[in-house]
Chain A
Amino acid sequence: MRLIIRGGTVVDPVRGRMYPSDILIDGERVAAVEKRVQARGARVLDAKGKLVLPGLFDMHVHLREPGQEYKETVATGTKAAMRGGFTAVAAMPNTAPVTDTPEVIRYVLEKARDAGYARVYPVGAITRGSRGDELSEMGALREAGAVAYSDDGRPVVSAAVMRRAMEYARMLGVPVISHCEDLTLAGGGVMHEGFTSTRLGLRGIPAAAEEVMVARDIILAELTGCHLHIAHVSTAGAVRLIREAKARGVRVTAEVTPHHFTLTEQAVEGFNTLAKVNPPLRTAADVAALREGLADGTIDVIATDHAPHAAHEKEAEFDAAAFGLVGLETAVGLVFTELVATGVLDIPAVAAKMSLNPARILGLPAGVIEPGAVADLTVIDPEATEIVDPASFASKGKNTPFGGYRLTGLPYATVVGGKVYIRDR
């Protein structure tokens, strides 16, 4: 089965350029990237006026399976990924049971194969049950297919445990992804601490709760030589700490979510539980710093922290509502509307932050379009516009604060191993 992607603009994040070209795909791999490809009998995907990026890779997703299938399954989550333009996702281990054994890794991989949508790379837990005391069987998890370790959803409270985990992860050659939150400073807060939390009478999470932990983990990465990846950076102070650490040569990378570079604490007004997320939405100054961090390379990756929940978990008192929002199906639109249209990132930089860099961080041979590479591609229509309608999501989770938002620049087609998924428009 051969496929020609005809007349698109190919985006090369490695050289930071774009050029018009056809792409010939033969089976699961790219066969040719040439100005004009001829192949008799090949299926043709017209990409005129569209951008062809190496397959987007969301390295921070909660697929909820096993254990919380009422929120999402591997099948619905990976379908949502494809609909959102992602060819691969890294699945966080806060499942039930926690992904702290090879069996759970294998289970998730099998579910992903059966579903046949986006690829899934499981992240193994740092500690057993993500309880923060004993290390998980990190070697066995790696062998089964874990691409990184994280206790995402909660911090590794003990600095000593984090140190040992980093030493092990370094030996195994995979990064530790840290959810940076000092729980004592977070103090059971439910939104950013500031005048808005004061006005709403909601307990606040100060920026320092994140920054204290970012600083600690940078110091531990320096001590151990481990590759530290900071998940969902949300504060200006964290951006500054990461920038300084990178300048010193510390092996640290970082990601930001579309909601953190788009929304502020104001989104919580009226006790909007759809904007309840951890880390919380911060201030306009933080949003500006996150965008600056993206532009200057301090922040390497855009990842969604896709966190699907059932309707009743959000339709509740603000204190009782679940943290998190779905991101897979709005990410591309938000990146193009909020970052490309405003000049924060050019399109090759988008391909770097959403494809090449996550692949490199997780040590996967992806993120480039060249002959011989696996045919994972994302075709984006930079002119297409939609009003976000959560009811149209493939994800089980409809919990987005972006319902009704007007987004321009949308995924048009997602190609995984040569298999084409055209977005329902």
Chain B
Amino acid sequence: MLTIAGLSRKQRERFFLGGKRLPSKHCLGLAALSAKEINEILENAVPMKQVISRDIKKVPALRGKTVVVLFYEPSTRTRVSFELAAKHLSADTVNVSASTSSVVKGESLVDTARTIKALGADLVVLRHPSAGAPHLLARLIDVPVINAGDGMHEHPTQALLDIFTLRERKGTLKGLKVVIIGDILHSRVARSNIWGLTKLGADVHLVAPPTLLPAGIERAGVTVHHRPEEALVDSDVVMVLRLQRERQRQGLIPGVREYARMYGLNAARLALARPDAVVMHPGPINRGVEIADDVADGSRAVITEQVTNGVAVRMSVLYLLTLGRGA
């Protein structure tokens, strides 16, 4: 490891970790971040990934800081990923989830925000079923807020980890043909990826039945398809979204079985993509619905890499947002 004389341990760590403070105070969505900021986060995730590959997965960058992880929706992987990311950076973490907190007693997000502020958190990670809830929180407290998924709006760290994974695999995003298949309408992951990927120069294609496409999405600078066969040709990346079974009950699709037949990613469809195309999925997977077993477990799937990279990317975001703020 690099050592530089005359620097404090913390400064050395900073030097090693690098990074420039982001102009944005919060990480609320990729629509609001510039390409430069996105690249800064991705660059900084590289040393973070080195940290977690070490024997002792800890740097003192956030020592003495308190990160509150506030989840109003059930989640395992995202919550654990954030918690680990904060712990690797030596922050103290407090987990608050809707079922255990006073949220069930009817405390509003506004009141919860005041409590968190009074308790002296240095950063809050929020997942909430309502779009814009992190924006509300950011207006109410003066510490950085990271959006860990808000309604159908955005899930910026998921898209950042997807993009990070693609950069590792493909080098650059510029000109990559990325196909996103599935329930775009309800997907915050799709939205964040659309903003992020298009900002970095990828050629984004969406595939879904008209009932699962949000209004006016073609204005986002993407190409919309209804049939996967026509979109998958020569694609570099296939991103598959989870299909909630309740969409059938809501009348948005005629049936899950039919959906699997028309839109499910199977080996035959994947064969239309470039031979080096990778398959991504934000999880959790509905095997046999949106993705066939052999594809999910196949050599082109990078689904487990996505999980590892998630921790690194979240460390990067936590670190950059706390840089130069407070003691």
Q: Are A317 and B31 in contact (CB under 8 A)?
A: no
Q: Are B216 and A200 in contact (CB under 8 A)?
A: no
Residues of B within 8 A of A202 (CB): 131-132, 151-153
Is B214 part of the contact surface with A, judged by Cβ < 8 Å?
yes
Q: Are A312 and B110 in contact (CB under 8 A)?
A: yes
Q: Are B217 and A316 in contact (CB under 8 A)?
A: no
Cα–Cα, bound, A194→B213 (Å): 11
Q: Are B131 and A195 in contact (CB under 8 A)?
A: no
Is B232 part of the contact surface with A, judged by Cβ < 8 Å?
no
Q: Are B154 and A317 in contact (CB under 8 A)?
A: no
Nearest residue (CB) in B for A198 is B214
What are the interface flags for A183-208 relative to B under an 8 Å C-beta threshold, 1 for contact and 0 otherwise? 00000000001110111111110100
Q: Are B132 and A316 in contact (CB under 8 A)?
A: no
Residues of A within 8 A of B132 (CB): 200-202, 271, 317-318
What are the interface flags for A310-339 relative to B under an 8 Å C-beta threshold, 1 for contact and 0 otherwise? 001001111110000000000000000000
Is B8 part of the contact surface with A, judged by Cβ < 8 Å?
no
Nearest residue (CB) in B for A195 is B216
Q: Are A317 and B136 in contact (CB under 8 A)?
A: yes
Is A270 part of the contact surface with B, judged by Cβ < 8 Å?
yes
Q: Are B109 and A201 in contact (CB under 8 A)?
A: no
Residues of B within 8 A of A318 (CB): 130-132, 136
With contacts A271-B136, A312-B110 taken as known, whether A200 is within 8 angstroms of B215 at the C-beta atoms is no
Cα–Cα, bound, A30→B252 (Å): 63
Q: Are B136 and A195 in contact (CB under 8 A)?
A: no
Q: Which of B128, B132, B150, B215 has the largest count of A CB atoms less than 10 A from its CB?
A: B132
What are the interface flags for B274-318 relative to A under an 8 Å C-beta threshold, 1 for contact and 0 otherwise? 000000000000000000000000000000000000000000000
Interface of A: prevailing SS: loop
Residues of B within 8 A of A195 (CB): 215-217, 219-220
Q: Are A200 and B214 in contact (CB under 8 A)?
A: no
Is B177 part of the contact surface with A, judged by Cβ < 8 Å?
no
Q: How far is the CB of B228 from chain A (nearest CB, A)?
A: 21
Nearest residue (CB) in A for B129 is A319
Q: Are A319 and B31 in contact (CB under 8 A)?
A: no
Cα–Cα, bound, A317→B112 (Å): 13
Cα–Cα, bound, A9→B215 (Å): 49
Residues of B within 8 A of A193 (CB): 215
Q: Are B135 and A201 in contact (CB under 8 A)?
A: no
Residues of A within 8 A of B214 (CB): 197-198, 204
Is B205 part of the contact surface with A, judged by Cβ < 8 Å?
no
Is B133 part of the contact surface with A, judged by Cβ < 8 Å?
yes
B151-186 at interface with A (beta carbon < 8 Å) = 151-154
Q: Are A317 and B109 in contact (CB under 8 A)?
A: yes
Cα–Cα, bound, A200→B130 (Å): 11
Q: How far is the CB of B236 from chain A (nearest CB, A)?
A: 25
Residues of A within 8 A of B110 (CB): 312, 315-316
Cα–Cα, bound, A260→B237 (Å): 43
Is B188 part of the contact surface with A, judged by Cβ < 8 Å?
yes
With contacts A271-B136, A317-B130, A318-B130 taken as known, whether A201 is within 8 angstroms of B153 at the C-beta atoms is yes
Residues of B within 8 A of A201 (CB): 131-132, 150-154, 188, 191
Of A270, A312, A319, which is within 8 A of B130 by CB? Answer: A319
What are the interface flags for B122-147 relative to A under an 8 Å C-beta threshold, 1 for contact and 0 otherwise? 00000011111101100000000000
Cα–Cα, bound, A271→B108 (Å): 17
Residues of A within 8 A of B216 (CB): 194-195, 198
A200-222 at interface with B (beta carbon < 8 Å) = 200-204, 206
Q: Are A319 and B131 in contact (CB under 8 A)?
A: yes
Residues of A within 8 A of B109 (CB): 316-317
B199-238 at interface with A (beta carbon < 8 Å) = 214-217, 219-220
With contacts A202-B151, A312-B110, A316-B108 taken as known, whether A270 is within 8 angstroms of B135 at the C-beta atoms is yes
Cα–Cα, bound, A126→B133 (Å): 37
Nearest residue (CB) in A for B31 is A199
What are the interface flags for A276-315 relative to B under an 8 Å C-beta threshold, 1 for contact and 0 otherwise? 0000000000000000000000000000000000001001
Cα–Cα, bound, A315→B135 (Å): 12
6 contacts between A and B (CB under 8 A): A194-B215, A198-B214, A198-B215, A271-B135, A317-B132, A319-B151
Please give 16 more A-B residue pairs, beta carbons under 8 A apart, in addition to A199-B31, A202-B153: A194-B215, A197-B214, A197-B215, A198-B191, A198-B214, A199-B191, A201-B191, A202-B131, A202-B132, A202-B151, A204-B214, A204-B215, A270-B135, A316-B110, A317-B130, A319-B131
Task: Pick the 10 closest A-B CB pairs, nearest first.
Answer: A201-B153, A271-B132, A195-B216, A201-B152, A317-B130, A198-B214, A201-B131, A319-B130, A318-B132, A195-B219
